[in-house]
């Protein structure tokens, strides 16, 4: 059983006990524990079930590479699935539950899959579920969805906060092991501004566990001194609990800081995403130990050798009483030696190698009385939910059992792979290192920045240097080089010297034993989380999935939440062997950010709830909120669709607003309309090019409606232009068009007509604009002004500056409703004051504030087009019968030549008409008018479509506009519009102006 040792645990504060629960059971750990070490200290080895076969799974590693031990952490709003216990720091009150099992962790029905594994090989889904076709959607997929999956999704809103932080530095060092610390010291000494980030809560990486001597003192003491020296340097920042998640172009990197994960009650954000710009990046990301592929290597109790000693040294936790060590390298001997020195039994070290003489570590192990068997291997591991023993064989053979040894832990080591992820993210290339049987960075092919110069430097174990002295020297030179490349060349002291312990060369072992038969290969796991075995990769190769990327996707190797940190190299070695080609020829799969999963919330940062996205508010917004506005989004604005009175439906409210406006007086907040000031001697000429009609002839004091087209002739915006000065025009745009039309104008001025004297300013937000509409509009305004606004002084399509309610106002007499109508602009800061004054002045005329829907209905009753309804990017003004607004005199305007192309002048283009339903109902929006026959795709032919459709409260019937083939020539014809329910609606083609055709109401 796994238990807490009486002594040891360098990271623990045994004076501080912490209570936590696992699957409802109360357990106890210490300050400094990870959730993994605390569970192990309580003999909780079984932590979850695998994805496919629901095999029992225990912890296998001690760090970020852990594939198995994932739990659901927290409860309610703080619940989060798939949390890695090895990187979760224990805190008081932590609660967690195991995943992917039913009904319980100990007894799981899904484990039947493991008995069926013969029938569930790689590619099983692809082969099995393809026939019959409809079964996939209705039978297979629902069943698979039920049985697959790890954690469950949270069902409550996350109540924590998250944020971003933009940081800038000369040198970013990723990894706080001794290579990273030394690199930071060197770069700092050279004068660079350095940011050093480390994913764990501790500095020094593996060095304090693995031991050694630096400058004559123990390495852990050296680390402490180096950290305090760095903390004293003004130009160096150290940040732990911050993982380098990704490296991107131009020295951009992401750091993922887990600010309060370890103290959830503390103030502050839970996670902070560091968005870092660094001139140079040093990746000192260490190395990951590889498992060995032998039968039963997934049984709980089989662990990485380094992890076994981490738990002893860092957390004072023994995984078991009897540990068999199996290895192909010297490093695992350290585990045997540490276990022995802590009074634990190591019955045997199985070394796959056959060395000619003992290395220092071998000799030390033997001197401690440990039995060492060279050239030996594990034939298979015994046990179910826990290791009970191993069968030993010769590595060179096929697995004939030589001996059985009882044990409860197997500590395995297949060598070490440099963590090359961050080096590779932005294009750093790898080379195969024969000596360590690992890919390491090809320093001659580094990721390059804007100048073509490298901006990433690998250091230490991440660069393939594993010996203490080499790591320090490499870290030092990487830091110095990075600082120099960032422009800092101060004096850098030499790296400290370390006492070297020579190690015997490792021997690559990809399968154990070398001649393992199919039965053993089917039990030799590569990817623990996704249940990919040696036999699966071999099958993939056999079936032609020869590219490593194809084999990965066929078998799901490395596609689990650990992204193959343990399985990648072993898998591609097996693939290479099956293909009979060297490993470098097979290559690796692509390393993509993030290094380990980061929370979605950290990516979201502050952008949630009120800050999810900007909501643009007009000066009258608060009034709308207080008066029952039912809002609709219009771009980033939120505009009132209608104002509901208590007990009133949306439809009723809209009808009331329309009727009141038509019969007496309405008022609209039109502030969102774009207002672009165009000024300069060439302003008229410029507007003549932008609009289809003539603007330069407009007289000061007058307004004109205009259309704007893209270069391709399509209608993109419309609005009223007012000439506000001899050389100045104010162009009104649609609400959604303000920014884009401003950009459109600037683009033409800056790229094509750069020599024209025109400046543009966007004044959209400078003014609050209020439309006062209806038969009683004039008399209401007259109550608030002494200026003459009579029909003679201020005729239709004119504007005037007046004093209204004591405010400077510009009044445009324009109409989008067909009523007597004024749009009044005042400074935004005075908008609410004018609004309130108008409400008071209009009270006796039953002034009714209306929203966008009433606006739309009234414009449709008048047959006025709406950008976005009658246009969709494929419509030209001629389609809409707007030829009157297209100048024939002008030599050119944007879109003119495009509109002369054959397809644009084709008489068969659908044209705008009104549609009047036969039964008075409302046509569905976007409905098509059908024609006889079918097209080449077997679809019904069409001859028109609805672009706008409303119930008109004024006419008390449905009205619509639509584009119809030869429409204007077919007045009175009835078209058929099928509805979604299969019924057909009939509508007569009519003139699009439904109401007050002669415009008598607005000309008063």
Partner 1 sequence: MSNMVSALNGASAKGFVEVRDMGLQGMITLRGDLNAAKLKKAARAVGGADMPEQGHISLGDTGGAAWMSPDELLVLVPYTEVDARLSEIAKAMGDDHHLAVNVSDARCMFGVSGDDALVREALAKLMPVDLSARAFQPGQFRRSRMAQVPAALWMQAEGEARIVCFRSVAQYVFDLLKGATSPGSEVRYLAR
CA distance readout (Å), 380 to 308, 333, 525, 969, 1003: 20, 21, 12, 87, 97
Q: Which stretch binds partner 1 (CB under 8 A): 71-79, 531-539, 603-611, 809-817?
A: 603-611
Look at residue 468 and give its three-state secondary structure. Answer: helix
Examine residue 450 and tell whether it contacts partner 1 (CB under 8 A). no
Contacting partner 1 (CB under 8 A), which of 93, 149, 216, 268?
268
Q: Specify the stretch interacting with partner 1 by CB under 8 A; choose among 137-145, 562-570, 601-609, 779-787.
A: 601-609
Residue 813 · residue 787 · CB < 8 Å: no
Q: Judged by CB, which is closer to partner 1: 294, or 812?
A: 812
Least separation in angstroms between CB 275 and partner 1? 7
Spatial distance between the Cα atoms of 74 and 95, rounded to a whole number of angstroms: 5
Give the C-alpha separation, 279 to 192, whole Å: 10
Q: Does 798 sit near partner 1 (CB under 8 A)?
A: no
Identified binder of partner 1 from the candidate list 146, 250, 277, 592, rule CB under 8 A: 277
Q: Interface with partner 1 includes 852 (CB under 8 A)?
A: no
Q: Is 617 in the site for partner 1 (CB under 8 A)?
A: yes
Report if residue 829 touches partner 1, rule: CB under 8 A: yes
What whole-number distance in Å separates Cα of residue 34 and Cα of residue 17?
A: 13
Q: Residue from 761, 843, 918, 971 that binds partner 1 (CB under 8 A)?
A: 761
Binding partner 1 by CB under 8 A: which of 6, 153, 435, 610? Answer: 610
Which one of 5-13, 43-51, 338-346, 616-624 is the stretch in contact with partner 1 (CB under 8 A)? 616-624
Q: Cβ 202 to partner 1, closest distance in Å?
A: 19
Name the burial class of residue 448, with classes exposed (0-12), middle (13-18) and buried (19+) by CB atoms within 10 angstroms of its CB: middle
* In the complex, least distance from residue 613 CB atom to partner 1, rounded to whole angstroms: 6
Choose between 468 and 760: whose C-beta lies nearer to partner 1. 760
Task: State yes or no: residue 229 binds partner 1 (CB under 8 A).
Answer: no
163 lies in the binding site for partner 1 (CB under 8 A): yes
Region 650-709 residues binding partner 1, contact defined as CB under 8 A: 677, 679-681
Q: Which residues contact 60 (CB under 8 A, 6 or more apart)?
A: 66, 67, 68, 69, 291, 302, 303, 304, 307, 528, 566
Looking at 24, 369, 452, 614, which residue binds partner 1 (CB under 8 A)?
A: 614
Which is nearer to partner 1, 402 or 677 (by Cβ)?
677
> Which residues, other chains included, contact 617 with Cβ-Cβ below 8 Å and sequence gap of 6+?
637, 638
Residue 594: cis peptide before it, omega within 30 degrees of 0: yes
Question: Using the rule CB under 8 A, is 267 a contact of partner 1?
Answer: yes
**Cβ neighbourhood burial of 975 (10 Å; 0-12, 13-18, 19+):** buried
DSSP states of 549-600:
HHHHHHHTTT-STTTTTTTHHHHHHHHHHHHTS-HHHH--PPP-S-SS---H
Residues 237-256 that bind partner 1 (CB under 8 A): 237, 239
How does strand 271-283 pair with strand 252-258? antiparallel
Cα 844 from chain centre:
55
Q: Is 786 in the site for partner 1 (CB under 8 A)?
A: no
Least separation in angstroms between CB 672 and partner 1:
8
- The first and second tokens of residue 491, run together, are 């004096």
* C-alpha–C-alpha distance, residues 505 and 435, integer Å: 7
For residue 729, which phi and psi values (nearest 5 degrees)? Answer: -130, 145
Work out how close the CB of 784 gets to partner 1 at its nearest, in angstroms, rounded to a whole number: 13
Q: Which of 151, 188, 269, 447 binds partner 1 (CB under 8 A)?
A: 269
Residue in 634, 797, 833, 840 binding partner 1, rule: CB under 8 A: 833
Q: Considering only residues 167, 603, 931, 974, which one is a binding residue for partner 1 as defined by CB under 8 A?
A: 167
CB nearer to partner 1: give 374 or 677. Answer: 677
How far is residue 78's CA from residue 91's CA, in Å, rounded to a whole number?
A: 14
> Does residue 168 interact with partner 1 by CB under 8 A?
yes
- Residues 182, 184, 185, 190: is their CA dihedral positive or negative? positive
When the beta carbons of 347 and 680 are compared against partner 1, the nearer one is: 680
- C-alpha 308/C-alpha 318 separation (Å) is 8
Shortest distance, position 736 Cβ to partner 1, whole Å: 14
Q: Which residue from 759, 790, 935, 941 is in contact with partner 1, where contact means CB under 8 A?
A: 759
Q: Which of 343, 427, 806, 926 contacts partner 1 by CB under 8 A?
A: 806
Report the distance separating Cα 795 and Cα 1003, nearest Å.
8
Task: Return d(Cα 215, Cα 792) in angstroms, integer.
Answer: 98
Select the residue interacting with partner 1 from 201, 763, 885, 904 (CB under 8 A).
Answer: 763
> Of 6, 435, 502, 613, which lies in the binding site for partner 1, with binding defined by CB under 8 A?
613
How many chain residues are in contact with partner 1, going by CB under 8 A? 52
* 607, 650, 791, 955: which one binds partner 1 (CB under 8 A): 607
Residue 766 within binding range of partner 1, rule CB under 8 A: yes
CA-based nearest residue to 518, from 399, 646, 394? 399
Contact 233, 192 (CB under 8 A): no
Q: How many CB atoms lie within 10 A of CB 590?
A: 10
Give, for 381, the enclosing helix (H) or strand (E).
strand 376-383
Within 10 angstroms of residue 843's Cβ, the number of other Cβ atoms is 11
Nearer to partner 1, 287 or 760 (CB): 760
Instruction: Give bridge partners of residue 406 from the DSSP assignment.
Output: 389
518 binds partner 1 (CB under 8 A): no
721: helix, strand or coil: strand
Q: Which of 262, 385, 702, 827 touches partner 1 by CB under 8 A?
A: 827
Does 611 participate in binding partner 1 (rule CB under 8 A)? yes
Instruction: Write down the residue that tokens 């409905």 correspond to.
Output: 927
Q: At closest approach, how far in Å is the CB of 246 from partner 1?
A: 16
Closer residue to partner 1 in complex, CB, 234/891? 234
Contacting range for partner 1; rule: CB under 8 A; set: 302-310, 572-580, 702-710, 755-763: 755-763
- Which H or E run contains 210? helix 207-210
CB 33 within 8 A of CB 26: no
SS3 annotation, 741-806: HHHHHHHHHHHCCCCCCCEEEECCCCEEEEEEECCCHHHHHHCCCCCCCCCCCCCCCEEEEEEECC
User: At closest approach, how far in Å is the CB of 194 from partner 1?
Assistant: 12
| Residue closer to partner 1 (CB basis): 455 or 994 | 455
Identified binder of partner 1 from the candidate list 1, 112, 144, 615, rule CB under 8 A: 615
Q: Which is nearer to partner 1, 49 or 639 (CB)?
A: 639
Question: What residue ranges bind partner 1 (CB under 8 A)?
Answer: 161, 163-168, 195, 237, 239, 266-269, 272, 275, 277, 605-607, 610-611, 613-619, 636-637, 677, 679-681, 757, 759-761, 763-767, 806-807, 827-830, 832-833
């Amino acid at each position: 059983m796994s238990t807490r040792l009486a002594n040891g645990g360098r990271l623990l504060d045994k004076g501080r006990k912490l209570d936590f629960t696992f699957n409802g059971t109360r357990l106890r750990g210490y300050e400094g524990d990870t959730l993994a070490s605390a569970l192990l200290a309580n003999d909780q080895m079984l932590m979850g079930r695998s994805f496919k076969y629901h095999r029992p799974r225990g912890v296998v590693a001690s760090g970020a590479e852990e594939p198995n031990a994932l739990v659901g952490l927290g409860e309610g709003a703080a619940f989060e699935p798939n949390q890695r216990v090895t990187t979760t720091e224990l805190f008081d009150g932590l609660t967690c539950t195991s995943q992917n099992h039913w009904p319980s962790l100990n007894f799981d029905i899904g484990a039947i899959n493991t008995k069926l594994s013969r029938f569930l090989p790689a590619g099983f889904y692809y082969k099995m579920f393809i026939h019959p076709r409809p079964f996939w959607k209705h039978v297979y997929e629902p069943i698979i969805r039920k049985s697959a999956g790890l954690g469950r999704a949270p069902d409550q809103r996350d109540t924590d906060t998250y944020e971003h932080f933009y940081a800038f530095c000369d040198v970013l060092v990723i990894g706080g092991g001794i290579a990273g610390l030394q690199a930071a010291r060197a770069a700092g000494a050279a004068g660079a501004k350095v940011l050093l980030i480390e994913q764990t809560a501790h500095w020094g990486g593996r060095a304090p566990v693995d031991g050694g001597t630096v400058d004559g003192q123990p390495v852990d003491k050296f680390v402490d001194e180096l950290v305090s020296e760095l903390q004293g340097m003004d130009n160096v920042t150290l940040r732990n609990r911050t993982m380098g998640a990704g490296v991107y172009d131009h020295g951009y990197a992401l750091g993922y800081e887990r600010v309060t994960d370890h103290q959830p009650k503390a103030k502050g954000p839970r996670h902070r995403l560091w968005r870092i710009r660094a001139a140079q990046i040093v990746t000192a990301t260490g190395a990951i130990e590889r498992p060995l592929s032998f039968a039963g290597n997934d049984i709980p109790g089989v662990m990485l050798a380094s992890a076994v000693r981490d738990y002893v040294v860092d957390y004072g936790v023994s995984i078991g009483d009897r540990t068999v060590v199996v290895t192909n390298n010297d490093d695992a001997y350290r585990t045997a030696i540490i276990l022995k020195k802590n009074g634990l039994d190591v019955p045997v070290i199985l070394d796959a190698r056959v060395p000619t003489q003992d290395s220092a570590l071998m000799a030390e192990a033997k001197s401690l009385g440990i039995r060492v068997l060279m050239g030996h291997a594990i034939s298979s591991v015994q046990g179910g939910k826990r290791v009970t023993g191993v069968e030993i064989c010769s590595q060179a053979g096929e697995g004939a059992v030589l001996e059985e040894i009882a044990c409860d832990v197997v500590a395995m080591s297949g060598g070490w792979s440099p963590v090359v992820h961050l080096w590779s993210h932005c294009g750093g290339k790898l080379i195969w290192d024969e000596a360590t049987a690992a890919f390491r960075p090809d320093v001659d092919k580094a990721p390059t920045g804007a100048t073509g110069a490298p901006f990433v430097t690998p250091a230490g174990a991440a660069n393939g240097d594993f010996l203490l002295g080499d790591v320090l020297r490499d870290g030092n030179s990487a830091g110095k080089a990075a600082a120099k490349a960032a422009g800092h060349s101060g004096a850098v002291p030499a790296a400290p010297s370390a006492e070297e312990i020579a190690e015997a060369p490792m021997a690559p072992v990809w399968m154990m034993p070398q001649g393992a038969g199919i039965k053993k290969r089917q039990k030799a796991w590569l990817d623990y989380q996704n249940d990919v075995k040696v036999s699966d990769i071999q099958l993939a190769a056999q079936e032609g999935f020869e590219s490593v990327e194809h084999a990965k996707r066929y078998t799901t190797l490395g596609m689990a939440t650990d992204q193959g940190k343990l399985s990648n190299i072993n898998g591609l070695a097996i693939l290479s062997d099956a293909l009979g080609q060297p490993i470098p020829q097979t290559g690796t799969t692509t390393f993509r950010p993030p290094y380990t999963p980061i929370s979605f919330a950290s990516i979201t940062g502050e952008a949630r709830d009120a800050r999810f996205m900007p909501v643009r508010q007009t000066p009258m917004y608060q009034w709308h909120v207080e008066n029952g506005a039912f809002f609709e989004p219009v771009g980033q604005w939120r505009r009132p669709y209608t104002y509901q009175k208590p007990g009133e439906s949306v439809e009723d409210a809209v009808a009331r607003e329309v009727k009141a406006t038509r019969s007496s007086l309405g008022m609209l907040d039109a502030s969102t309309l774009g207002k672009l000031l165009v000024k300069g001697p060439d302003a008229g000429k410029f507007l003549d090019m932008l609009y289809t009609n003539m603007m330069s002839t407009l007289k000061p004091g007058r307004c004109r409606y205009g259309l704007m087209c893209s270069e391709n002739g399509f209608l993109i915006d419309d609005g009223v232009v007012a000439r506000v000065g001899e050389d100045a025009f104010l162009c009104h745009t649609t609400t959604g068009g303000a920014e884009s039309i401003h950009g459109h104008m600037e683009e033409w001025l800056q790229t094509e007509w750069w020599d024209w004297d025109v400046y543009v300013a966007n004044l959209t937000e400078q003014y609050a604009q209020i439309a006062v509409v209806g038969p009683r509009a004039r008399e209401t305004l007259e109550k608030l002004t002494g200026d003459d606004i009579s029909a003679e002084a201020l005729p239709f399509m004119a504007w005037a500056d007046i004093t209204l309610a004591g405010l400077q106002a510009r009044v445009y007499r324009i109409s989008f409703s067909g009523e007597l109508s004024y749009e009044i602009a005042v400074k935004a800061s005075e908008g609410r004051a004018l609004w309130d004054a108008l409400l008071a002045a209009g009270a006796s005329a039953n002034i009714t504030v209306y929203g966008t829907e009433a606006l739309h209905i009234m414009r449709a009753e008048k047959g006025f087009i709406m950008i976005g309804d009658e246009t969709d990017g494929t419509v030209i003004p001629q389609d809409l019968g707007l030829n009157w607004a297209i100048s024939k005199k002008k030599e050119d305007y944007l879109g003119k030549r495009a509109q002369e192309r054959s397809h644009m002048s084709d008489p068969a283009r659908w044209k705008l008409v009104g549609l009047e339903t036969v039964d008075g109902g409302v046509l569905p929006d976007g409905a098509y008018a059908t024609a006889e026959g079918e097209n080449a795709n077997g679809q019904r032919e069409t001859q028109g479509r609805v672009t706008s459709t409303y119930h008109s409260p004024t006419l008390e019937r449905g009205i619509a506009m639509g584009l119809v083939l030869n429409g204007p020539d077919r007045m009175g014809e009835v078209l058929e519009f099928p509805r979604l329910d299969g019924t057909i609606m009939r509508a007569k083609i009519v003139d699009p102006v439904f109401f007050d055709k002669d415009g008598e109401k607005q000309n008063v």
